[in-house]
Amino acid sequence: MGKISEKSLTDVMKERHSVRKYDPNFTISEQEIKDIIKDAASAPSSSNLQPWRFIVIQDQETKKELRTIAYNQEQVETASAVVAVLGDKEMYKSTEKVYQDAYVAGFMDKGSMEQLIANANRTYTNAPEEVRKNIATFDAGLISMQLMLIAKERGYDTVPMAGFDKQKFIERFNVSERYFPILLLPIGKAAAPAHNTTRLPLEDIIIQSV
């Protein structure tokens, strides 16, 4: 079990970098991966529909197979776990569960619940698939960032990866039509530090300040 750091969020954030060399003999329990995902699920999402899903891969042979799907990127095989982040393009199917849970928890009255269910059902079912995929991709990015920071807080490292063959992934893991793969997230114990990276200067990224 990783020791939770007492560092500030800012320090954890600054110390996170993409690690591509992992100790292949280091294991993280399935329970700890679940704990990390549970904590990360506090991320915000559009209408709280949480259009993120995960496939947790820890089996050595499966990681080896996944490495070939990820264009032979080593970290997929040597990290302790790979969390594949998928989007739910039919997030409206979660509407009733999400708002009923909030109602049962006492967070809203029945009228608000019914109103929110009707609004969300209308908005998301009428949206084109492309729009729903964009929403799911954006929200999946938010939870992915939380996953990386929580892993770092526990002394682990990660590398977000979009470099893999999505179609092959879908076939290998029998991903249903409802979901689509977005990111692979290897998590493990660093065996070598990340490469240093720079960031664009502030004056390049703030394009207006009024």
113 contacts: CB under 8 Å, gap ≥ 6: 99, 100, 102, 103
Q: Report the alpha-carbon distance of residue 175 to residue 169 in Å, rounded.
A: 8
- Could you tell me which of 61, 82, 81, 79 has the C-alpha nearest to residue 164? 82
For residues 5 and 12, the answer to whether their CB atoms sit within 8 Å is yes
Q: What would the x/- binding string for ligand FMN be over residues 141 to 180, using CB under 6 A? A: ------------------xxxxx-----------------
Could you say which of 47, 50, 73, 78 contacts ligand FMN (CB under 6 A)? 73
What DSSP line would sit under 124-190, residue for residue? HHHS-HHHHHHHHHHHHHHHHHHHHHHHHHTT-EE--B--S-HHHHHHHTT--TTEEEEEEEEEE-B
Is 17 a binder of ligand FMN (CB under 6 A)?
Answer: yes
Is 197 a binder of ligand FMN (CB under 6 A)?
Answer: yes
Residue whose CB is nearest to ligand FMN in the complex, by number: 163
Is 18 a binder of ligand FMN (CB under 6 A)?
Answer: yes
Cβ 117 to ligand FMN, closest distance in Å?
33
Is 20 a binder of ligand FMN (CB under 6 A)?
Answer: yes
Cβ 56 to ligand FMN, closest distance in Å?
19
Residue 87 tokens, joined: 């989007």
Q: Of the two residues 70 and 91, which places its CB atom closer to ligand FMN in the complex? A: 70
Residue 23 tokens, joined: 């100790």
Is 194 a binder of ligand FMN (CB under 6 A)?
Answer: yes
Q: Of the two residues 20 and 132, which places its CB atom closer to ligand FMN in the complex? A: 20
Q: Which residues bind ligand FMN (CB under 6 A)?
A: 17-18, 20, 73, 159-163, 194, 197
